Structure 1
Amino acid sequence: MPFRHVLNVPAMGSAVRIARETTELVLVECGVGLGHPSVGPALLILAELVTNAVRHAAVCSPMVTVTYAHSPGAFAFAVHDRHPYQPALYGALASAPGSGLATVVEMTVELGGTAVVRPDADGGGKAIWITLPL
């Protein structure tokens, strides 16, 4: 996807608000209206992933990075932290239904999107990528 934007925020509570507001700005810059039916769910998914990074990874990862990509038919974003734990995204649906991660996967699939965990080359962190059709 050609359009890229990167946001680095400290792993603290305000990161969720900053990431959400930045996502809205990026979507508008990409020409996606905030009334588009995928925008609300995308913001909720993003907020959950950033919240998880702040709650569970801050001890290993003082910064959280959100990367955005956009093409005419899709919008993607990744939330990256330096904690080595790599969640089994689709396993969350069976093992932890109703959890935040299960909700992220469920919403992504319902929108026709994909969710993947991409580990860092050194195994010391990961990015969770969400791709949603527009």
Structure 2
Amino acid sequence: MSTQLEALPHRHVLTLPTEPSAVRMAREAAELALVEWGIGLRHPTVDPALLILAELVTNSVRHAAVLSPQVTVIYAAGSDCLAFAVHDRHPYQPLLSGAVTGTGGIATVMEVVLALGGTAVVRADADGRGKSIWITLPL
């Protein structure tokens, strides 16, 4: 699995209003991008990846909208991995390392990521007033 996200040949960026319709739109855009990149929607990583994506966008809509009028989703892929990030301008950074033993959305995200042999990282914005959660999954 490629660890250098900058080296992934396929990229797509989508910015949406932080409202409930963003979840569906982010998922639909992901499906279109995957097909365009030659990754079949029946690939065993795709459904779990879409579940993770939907959960992360839902979290931004539910918890960040008060400070972040937009959510940005970055999609990337290569021959051996799929990566995506969900970015908002809310400063709260969830702790991913302890989330596996918890309940709720982030715990589900981490359970699926780890079951697939993937990684999850929270990256703060340079000004500390926002963050991206990056997910990388092997294909």
TM-score band w.r.t. shorter chain = over 0.9
Quick one: distance in 1 between partners of 2:137 and 2:99?
19
Return the alpha-carbon distance in structure 2 between the equivalents of residues 70 and 40 of structure 1: 15
Moved over 2 A (4+): none
Task: Note if contact 1:90-1:102 (Cα within 8 Å) is conserved in structure 2.
Answer: no
CA drift at 1:2: 2.2
Deviations along 1:49-80, one digit per CA (max 9) or x if unpaired, are 00000000000000000001111000100000
Q: Which residue of 2 aligns with 1:81?
A: 88
List runs of 5+ in structure 1 lacking aligned partners.
Answer: none
Matched residue type, 2:56: L
For each residue in 1:7-60, what CA deviation from the matched residue of structure 2 results, as whole angstroms up to 9, or x when unmatched? 000000000000000000011111100000000000000000000000000000
SS of equivalent residue, structure 1 residue 25: helix
User: Is the counterpart of residue 131 in structure 1 residue 136 in structure 2?
Assistant: yes
User: Could you tell me which residue of structure 1 aligns to residue 3 of structure 2?
Assistant: none
Aligned length: 132
Task: Determine the structure 2 residue equivalent to 1:10.
Answer: 17
1:57 alignment counterpart? 64
Runs of 5+ consecutive residues of structure 2 not aligned to the other structure: 1-7
Conserved 8 A contact 1:12-1:54 = yes
TM-score for the superposition, normalised by structure 1: 0.96
Partner Cα distance (1:3, 1:37) in 2: 19
Match of 2:49 in 1: 42
1:112 aligned partner = 117
Letter in 2 for 1:73: D
1:71 aligned partner:
78
**TM-score with structure 2 setting the length:** 0.93
Amino acid in the other structure paired with 1:127: S
Q: Which amino acid in the other structure matches residue 105 of structure 1?
A: M
Aligned residues: CA RMSD: 0.7
Q: Partners of 2:36 and 2:125 in 1: how far apart?
A: 29
CA offset at residue 91 of structure 1? 1.2
Give the SS at the match of 1:5.
strand
Name 2:33's counterpart in structure 1.
Answer: 26
What percentage of aligned pairs have identical amino acids?
A: 68
